[in-house]
Amino acid sequence: MEQYYLYIKSLHLIFIVTWFAGLFYIVRLFVYQIEASQKPSPEKEILGKQLNIMASRLWNIITWPSMILALIFGFWLLGMRMFWLTDAWMQVKLVFVVALIIYHIKCHQIFKQLQKGVIKYTSNSMRLFNEVPTIILFAVVFLVILKSAVNWIYGTVGIIAFSMLLMMGYKMYKRIREEKNN
């Protein structure tokens, strides 16, 4: 089985990439669906129908299968390297993986609501929500690459600083959009 390690790792990485791509894009589609719901008829219905189809295909054909396959190959790798479970970097990484799964499930709830025409969020709140997987991605990549070289204090401060930069960028983008629309 060891001779297949690099193949399994490659497949794990491929499905991580497609999972994140799906998570990033589905929330953008949520933004568009919410904004389309505020348009006048018939634009509202035409856009709503098309965006529902796009979201459904992305979610069911790409994002869910990618998550499942990323997890299968990830657990397979973990089974081949059980000693990683004693490493602090892996334990922290697994916490971020659980957080990403929770985020995915929350996206699924929002997806189901929007498919039924139920809107509980603003487009701005979805834009902010879309930053969560970015933070998780940065954290996991640095954990996996640096492993035991991670200084937990600098890592924590770095993620907080990165989050603050994302929020500042979001506020600037929102201000520019509002000025453009006025």
Do 148 and 87 touch, CB atoms closer than 8 A? yes
Residue 93 labeled ligand binder: yes
In angstroms, the CA 133 to CA 30 distance is 15
Residue-by-residue DSSP string for 37-93: TTSPTTHHHHHHHHHHHHHHHIIIIIIHHHHHHHHHHHHHHHHHTGGGGGSHHHHHH
| Known binding positions for heme | 12, 93
| Known binding positions | 12, 93
